[in-house]
Structure 1
């Protein structure tokens, strides 16, 4: 046997887990390790209650085709040891030595989430069609209910708005190539919109035709399906040419093949299935062989394609195409073990709430299909029990420009699909706060279909039909102190949210901060140690810029960069947020501590590593944010350097600010913000503001309202201490928080007193 290659896990690769430091949140543990070969790697895994791996206490699994595994049974509480080795390609023997032995402790009372073994995983699945959503017996049951009451599950609305229009529409032509095959944003968007409408036509006509047993609808559905199958699967709707278009067309063909199976001739079935197989293989090849998300998991589109393509397509072809089972196995095992690469047990999503929305929307659809057909409920994993908290606390229904990350909805309240997602988790968990969120957004968003990020991605009538059929009604619970957390820490992604009166938009204050271990990777930005403030119905300290297009100069040079954030520059340099994924992940932050008690809440964050590439002489950047008496914030910045430098304190607003001495004031239409630098160790700040988007093509924001950018610059020094007081208030209230400083000792004691006479003290170490 040869020596096993055991490379160290890198920033972008899967870790060796579980290990002695792992805190398990579900039973059984999930096992992951770095690949031992570049390709054709297969493994044996041993798990034992004995460090010596005696045969009577050891389970051997294999050969395994990938470097991850979820057991098919729960473990008794106790300590377990594990190791792995390479297997021969035929799986008959070991090819290498055993790996280093690792251990973990399985505590009692964890959620039970085993994954059935490959050999028995599909034993109870039916080889007949349909399989996507409803199987034949459930089709007949719903058919009877529709005959009795046309409004059942929202059927009447679905039929009128999402079925009938496609009876009259002309067939959509196969998309044309880009000029010189170079992607153009406008044509790219038209292409995927055309493909989304094609999905609507095929899926909705097929479902309606079968449920109503309506020959005219079925004829039209078949006409659309065969038309799309005539498109070149290796052409403009292939995965490599436009993956968004490919995802939609593969989904359309899968639904059409499955639901229209009974009215297609054998020749037509073969043609449709062959087309679907090609399209599915393109996606599977990219995910498994190119992107290799089981080794390097940080590829948003590849991960999303599991749910948007591989799940529906492989279910539709299971028992008919051998590769479908292989790809579906990979998908289920990935979801059971490695998902989500963007968050952990707290339910956070490092890329922000908009990519939580897109990622979870397709995943919800896929998990519902898996649960209904395969009988595996992946929603039982702890992440899905908690992830509804993420939009609730960091993307509240009444807020705008008050959350981090890429957002196609930038400047608008949460999208309706975000609300539909969180309603799904209300149905799964019974959490009434999630239902309240859904109802609030639904009430506000009356014209969802007019927005490309809705209509180009999903149909809410179809969502309603499925949800109303599959899930119970949940009673909304209003978010008052008794029902929610006033301070919410998402440890997995490094976000912390402070809230006051979420139940009333006119009284609500939301302050969120971020210092993330994901750095500026993917759809995250260079905003470690940043903050955002929304109060009394209006954004005050904003995430600045506009959504133009991914890859635009606004996106690359402004939105992703620290210059657009409420954080710091060192000698004019922000955090690394370029194109090197390794450097993006290395430009991370850490939330070191969160404290919450009546009248006083605080977070301490460390973003030193985020400037390692751009300002390597930075020794330390610690930011403490204190939220006091649910009414004002004190921000304490501590910056230490190897040589003297200037620090720029940044804040952004929708409104021009009134600047006086060491103060700034934002006056909005509903709310105001009084800001003042109450202590700066290097002397008075030089304060200015401007309304330009630096290094951005002016044509990208022509005609859009100005935004204002505060820059407060220190004198040059090797150490800096900056204490900033932020007091949000309703427009015209003109309240203030008084303060004084006691600096007789080695520390600086700052005392703040609000309008109710309550005084709080914050201690700041001196800069020496």
Structure 2
């Protein structure tokens, strides 16, 4: 996503305050920050045509709503929806539209809102559910595979040349795991944790997801190999694994209540195996497997359908937001075999494809962090291809999907050693997820990313991908732009040269999602890496969600490269209802050939403890240095602090110069402002086998305001650094580059 082409900057600037300027009397605009946003709005250019319409529910909960769309003052479309969202099935002509919505039982119209369809709006039409269902049940099994994906004997010479090695890899894996993976059993998880979080419960939850994922992959892979090769050994293995999963109690440790992720893995792998094996599965066994799919999926459906579709009004539930995708695919593959599948499908399909992700706007970022974006790519590879074959609705062609790939390229570029921002930021990226996702796009940037992610393809995902891979059709790979801004999540990426593995990378965040869900109290935080090696990074590790470590350190501001005060006090991260409202925002982003500039405002994140918290950051591409300016004020005197963290020793030489060297990459931290001392601080023990240090610049006395001005000299080249004036403005010279500083 090159910023020069960024018409989408207009699209999502007001995601969290989606109807600022509208009267509070407008019933369609919720005051609850966790409620659904009323969109489209604010004359936003829609990347998707037709757009999805969403609004907050009317207080009287009518049975349906009427949506009216006008063009040039004339009504051009009227829709009726039983839920508080609607996805038209046909595209709109180019133009500037107004829309409003009312309960079907009254004329209480919402305030009108405006959106734009233009030449950049990509057509993504989805037929009505009844039309899709009728076509799906007529499709022969396997529904979830490409039409020409069956028996190896029918593959073309070109396909054999391309996919035989992949087939061999998957065969080797499945044969090895016939003995390497023990049968799953209820005896492995004796606890019934429900939603109670303790160390013992979380340890069992980790075992459940690990073992059910192992079993699910083996079952799916064996059934696929039988479909492709016809070899009996794979049928025997698939039957054995399917019988083991079907024998697990839907009320035990893998129940929906105890572990929704394990529950959905079992249901999805069983229905995929039923689809792949077809008539090779005997009738009694097929009925038993389908019954287990029915019981487990119905539990998932009843949870999602509560309050007539609880995600419709309150979408910010990370597990539920993933579960609806699994429900969509399971229902699609179950139609005609499980009576309840019709209700599952009608409830989930259009809802899932309508907006897809609540963790970003339409430009495709992911506010929960790149570790969770990796999981999202994994889910997409499990769900989207099979869904496309069965329904002919390809989510890889949805505008959000291409933006999500751009985001992965910018924040997890080739060579990255860690993720950034949010839970799991310290983990090594699982490259096969990103590579597999990129394989579905026929663009130069996708081809560059795919080529430079040095890892063998995931054989199961590749064998189920279209042939030829879309990415393989690109003649000339080319990297994306060096700089990118994702306005709806408040993230910016700046690279010296993204196409060069020796690049310097700077990541900045000031997010309207605040510290909600898997996000942290790191508004106005940044991360600095060189050749993928973390230099100034985030600290702590993700033992489990809501653990003592997670609460007391990992997500706290003091664990990030951000401002605190009075011995580590920072942004307010407690309180489910308030963390999204305590947020940040990027107020400026200006990329240029030699310097990138980004500014953030994290005042709200501090929950009234500070009256302003502003950070401005310049990435001096020519000098390979970063200038960071922080300006902070408070109604009461505070001792302000500038924190940074490393995975290597922080060295202070005899002259007071501060440097960090990690894996041969180096940065010097040069304070320019005066009146602060440096000290090292201690944190909790790092993850076993890792190393962390924590540094902080501390103002010498409590004050109502303060400024930190810091230069990060990548490579420790020691350029001349000089603070001066140009007229009334202050200037900072770093080598041959000059920055004009706000006063």
What range is the shorter-chain TM-score in?
Answer: 0.7 to 0.9
Partner Cα distance (1:630, 1:65) in 2: 58
Question: 1:292 aligns to what SS in structure 2?
Answer: helix
Displacement, 1:746?
5.4
Partner Cα distance (1:210, 1:534) in 2: 45
Q: Counterpart in 1 of 2:252?
A: 235
Partner Cα distance (2:182, 2:417) in 1: 39
Displacement, 1:272?
2.3
Q: Counterpart in 2 of 1:471?
A: 469
Tell me whether 1:540 sits opposite 2:552 in the alignment. Answer: no
**Does structure 1 conserve the Cα–Cα contact (< 8 Å) formed by 2:424 and 2:541?**
no
Q: Counterpart in 1 of 2:3?
A: none
Q: Counterpart in 2 of 1:27?
A: 49
Q: How many residues align?
A: 706
Partner Cα distance (2:427, 2:258) in 1: 31
**Does structure 1 conserve the Cα–Cα contact (< 8 Å) formed by 2:415 and 2:531?**
no
Tell me whether 1:380 sits opposite 2:404 in the alignment. Answer: no
Question: 2:263 aligns to what SS in structure 1?
Answer: helix
Alignment of 1:334-353 (within 5 A): 334-353=351-370
| Greater mean deviation of Cα atoms: 236-245 or 321-330 | 321-330
Tell me whether 1:311 sits opposite 2:311 in the alignment. Answer: no
Partner Cα distance (1:434, 1:476) in 2: 12
User: Which residues of structure 1 form unaligned runs of 5+?
Assistant: 87-93, 447-458
Q: Counterpart in 2 of 1:156?
A: 168
Higher RCO (Cα < 8 Å, 6 or more apart):
2
| Greater mean deviation of Cα atoms: 539-548 or 460-469 | 460-469
Q: Counterpart in 1 of 2:145?
A: 134
Q: 2:273 aligns with which of 247, 256, 269?
A: 256
**Does structure 1 conserve the Cα–Cα contact (< 8 Å) formed by 2:638 and 2:704?**
yes
**Does structure 1 conserve the Cα–Cα contact (< 8 Å) formed by 2:515 and 2:580?**
yes
CA pair 587-178 structure 1, distance change in 2 beyond 3 A:
farther
Displacement, 1:165?
3.5
Partner Cα distance (2:131, 2:688) in 1: 61
Q: 1:707 aligns with which of 692, 695, 699?
A: 692
CA pair 15-503 structure 1, distance change in 2 beyond 3 A:
closer
Partner Cα distance (2:240, 2:45) in 1: 54
Q: 1:750 aligns with which of 719, 731, 740?
A: 731
Q: Counterpart in 1 of 2:617?
A: 625
Partner Cα distance (2:742, 2:575) in 1: 36
Displacement, 1:279?
0.8
Deviations 1:686-725 (A, max 9, x none): 21003432xxxx5xx4754441111111122212122111
Q: 2:434 aligns with which of 410, 419, 429?
A: 419
Q: Counterpart in 1 of 2:87?
A: 70
Question: 1:260 aligns to what SS in structure 2?
Answer: helix
Q: Counterpart in 2 of 1:585?
A: 580
Tell me whether 1:688 sits opposite 2:710 in the alignment. Answer: no
Alignment of 1:93-242 (within 5 A): 94-109=104-119, 110-127=121-138, 129-134=140-145, 138-140=148-150, 142-145=152-155, 149=160, 152=164, 154-163=166-175, 165-166=177-178, 171-179=183-191, 181=193, 183-242=200-259
Displacement, 1:462?
0.6
Partner Cα distance (2:324, 2:149) in 1: 26
Partner Cα distance (1:238, 1:311) in 2: 19
Q: Counterpart in 1 of 2:310?
A: 292
Displacement, 1:517?
0.9
CA pair 321-579 structure 1, distance change in 2 beyond 3 A:
farther
**Does structure 2 conserve the Cα–Cα contact (< 8 Å) formed by 1:371 and 1:378?**
yes
Q: Counterpart in 2 of 1:452?
A: none
Alignment of 1:406-445 (within 5 A): 406-407=423-424, 410-412=426-428, 414-424=429-439, 427-428=440-441, 430-443=442-455
Partner Cα distance (1:441, 1:139) in 2: 26
Q: Please, what is the CA RMSD of the aligned residues?
A: 3.0
CA pair 40-254 structure 1, distance change in 2 beyond 3 A:
farther
**Does structure 2 conserve the Cα–Cα contact (< 8 Å) formed by 1:146 and 1:155?**
no
Question: 2:507 aligns to what SS in structure 1?
Answer: strand
Q: Counterpart in 2 of 1:677?
A: 671
**Does structure 1 conserve the Cα–Cα contact (< 8 Å) formed by 2:381 and 2:461?**
no
Partner Cα distance (1:227, 1:329) in 2: 30
**Does structure 2 conserve the Cα–Cα contact (< 8 Å) formed by 1:129 and 1:258?**
no
Partner Cα distance (1:272, 1:119) in 2: 26
Displacement, 1:318?
0.8
**Does structure 2 conserve the Cα–Cα contact (< 8 Å) formed by 1:574 and 1:611?**
no
Give TM-score, length-normalised by structure 2.
0.88
Partner Cα distance (1:460, 1:394) in 2: 21
Q: Counterpart in 1 of 2:4?
A: none
**Does structure 2 conserve the Cα–Cα contact (< 8 Å) formed by 1:567 and 1:649?**
yes
Tell me whether 1:653 sits opposite 2:642 in the alignment. Answer: no
| Greater mean deviation of Cα atoms: 619-628 or 652-661 | 652-661
Question: 2:488 aligns to what SS in structure 1?
Answer: coil
CA pair 231-40 structure 1, distance change in 2 beyond 3 A:
farther
User: Which residues of structure 2 form unaligned runs of 5+?
Assistant: 1-24
Question: 1:750 aligns to what SS in structure 2?
Answer: strand
Displacement, 1:561?
0.7
Question: 1:185 aligns to what SS in structure 2?
Answer: helix
Displacement, 1:350?
0.6
| Greater mean deviation of Cα atoms: 334-343 or 33-42 | 33-42
Deviations 1:615-647 (A, max 9, x none): x24111111101122511111111122232111
Tell me whether 1:496 sits opposite 2:479 in the alignment. Answer: no
Partner Cα distance (2:401, 2:237) in 1: 38
Partner Cα distance (1:741, 1:82) in 2: 53
CA pair 340-168 structure 1, distance change in 2 beyond 3 A:
closer
**Does structure 1 conserve the Cα–Cα contact (< 8 Å) formed by 2:256 and 2:296?**
yes
Partner Cα distance (1:589, 1:320) in 2: 49
Question: 1:547 aligns to what SS in structure 2?
Answer: coil
Tell me whether 1:554 sits opposite 2:535 in the alignment. Answer: no
Partner Cα distance (2:628, 2:111) in 1: 46
Partner Cα distance (2:217, 2:594) in 1: 52
Question: 2:337 aligns to what SS in structure 1?
Answer: coil
Q: Counterpart in 1 of 2:482?
A: 486
Alignment of 1:53-64 (within 5 A): 57-62=75-80, 64=81
Deviations 1:179-238 (A, max 9, x none): 474653332222222212221232122222233333443244223323322322222211
Partner Cα distance (2:257, 2:459) in 1: 31
Give TM-score, length-normalised by structure 1.
0.85
CA pair 476-355 structure 1, distance change in 2 beyond 3 A:
farther
